[in-house]
Structures are given as structure tokens and as C-alpha cells.
Amino acid sequence: MSQNLLTLTTENFDATIAEGVTLVDFWAPWCGPCQMLTPILDNHVAPAVAGRAKIGKVNVDDSRDLAAKFGIKSIPAILIFKNGQLVQQMVGIQSGDALVKAIEAVLA
């Protein structure tokens, strides 16, 4: 994973989302659409919101407790948090523009 995308685990999740805006992608290595979403996040979304929002990824196989906590049933699942509070949730692959617009709306 690139330096644009944070690897989130049970240990660092709460601290990472506690302040500011954070987009979290719940994914798995065996999920085709998840693999398609990673370069969108890395090459389009992260640069567009650099310095204003964080982009993180949670591997649902490694962090089943986080997936359960947020009721993740389908992946990729994209959750946007503001100061630790869930403010938006999307399921399925999304365009880079749609994700940037969603983050911009939360930042506004």
C-alpha cells in the first residue's frame, strides 16, 4: 500500500478517526471490486484531499471485530467519519469524483 493510504487495525482505528475527516475502506484481498477501488483511492482521492482528510483501509479478514462493529456485510464498504462519528456510508465501488465530493461535503 502507498503512503497515501493508512492501514487501519483494531489497535489504531479509534485514534486515527478521532480527529478530522477520515474515509475508511473496508476491503479484503480476495475481493475483485476492492482491488479496483484501491488505485482510485490512492491515485485520485488521496491526492485530492491531501492535508484535509485521511484515507484508511481495513482488511476485514484481519480485523473482523471492526467489520462487525460497523455491521459490514458487503465489501467494499466505504465509511466516512468526522471527529470519530460516522457521517456517511456507501457500499460497492465508487468513482473517485463521487468519493472526493462526499469528503468535500463533510469538510464543508
Query: Catalytic site residues?
Result: 31, 34
User: pLDDT band at residue 1, thresholds of 50, 70 and 90?
Assistant: low
pLDDT digits (tens, 9 = 90+) for 53-73: 999 999 999 999 999 999 999
pTM score of the predicted model = 0.95
**What contacts 20, CB < 8 A, 6 or more positions away?**
52, 53, 54, 82, 83
Domain at 6-93: CATH code: 3.40.30.10
Terminal-to-terminal C-alpha distance of the chain:
29
Which three cell numbers mark 6? 493508512
User: pLDDT band at residue 90, thresholds of 50, 70 and 90?
Assistant: very high
